[in-house]
Structure 1
């Protein structure tokens, strides 16, 4: 279900501000090794966005090419994680914490569930996809 809702947020220091149209209030957790390393050991909790993602203070956005198909953005000044995005196709995943706590998010999905370490679990009933299932899903687009 698409809400076409626009959310706003900022990095810790305020140098970068974002405005994004979210696909829904559903959030997912990515347990891939790269997201867990980027986030300090836990998964990345993200909300998927339409192509309508705009940044103010873009000169403070640093990019890291994390694979052949994706890159991650963060604030040069404070290090806040700003996005994971596909290099082609306009798909953005924004860390849900970037957009604030005033939205009633729903935790609905977990990806790379077969890469999740044993030291944490979540009690919510979610749709769970393995690494192979994720790649098959994106290959179908």
Structure 2
């Protein structure tokens, strides 16, 4: 069992079971919502339990996906595609050591010009 939260604690959660390795997304939406690229793990939605959701708000960021964030402190927390029964969780929102590693970079064609990806992990132009 892992726990996590937003910066102010108005949204807290628990994750049971294994989490997918983290994926670094460099798409424009992820860069805009996080201020840089966004790194996220993923679990089946039924293994994510909100233990406090006072500040949780959802933003429909495209016709098929939405982003969960804290309306109090602004932390980016979740991403969900409507056609999937899975929730992506911002890796940095998980408390303590995660035991995860970054598996790959996606949407690198959209990455910012102010940084280089130099870790030698696989890079995908899109997904």
Aligned length: 125
Higher helix share: 1
Write the distance in 2 (CA, Å) between the matches of 1:35 and 1:69: 15
Residue 23 of structure 1 pairs with residue 19 of structure 2: yes
Q: 1:113 aligns with which of 89, 100, 108?
A: 108
The alpha carbon displacement at 1:105 in A equals 2.5
8 Å contact from structure 1 (residues 28, 109) kept in 2: yes
8 Å contact from structure 1 (residues 46, 94) kept in 2: yes
Query: What is the RMSD computed on CA atoms of the aligned residues?
Result: 1.6
The alpha carbon displacement at 1:91 in A equals 2.0
The alpha carbon displacement at 1:128 in A equals 1.5
8 Å contact from structure 1 (residues 107, 124) kept in 2: no
Superposition TM-score, scaled by structure 1 size: 0.80
Residue 45 of structure 1 pairs with residue 39 of structure 2: yes
Write the distance in 2 (CA, Å) between the matches of 1:124 and 1:35: 20
Residue 77 of structure 1 pairs with residue 83 of structure 2: no
Write the distance in 1 (CA, Å) between the matches of 2:74 and 2:50: 15
Q: Could you say if the C-alpha distance between residues 100 and 122 of structure 1 is closer, same or farther in structure 2, counting changes exceeding 3 Å?
A: farther
Q: 1:104 aligns with which of 99, 114, 127?
A: 99
The alpha carbon displacement at 1:23 in A equals 3.0
Q: Which runs of 5+ in 1 are unaligned?
A: 1-5, 135-141
The alpha carbon displacement at 1:122 in A equals 2.9
Q: Which runs of 5+ in 2 are unaligned?
A: none
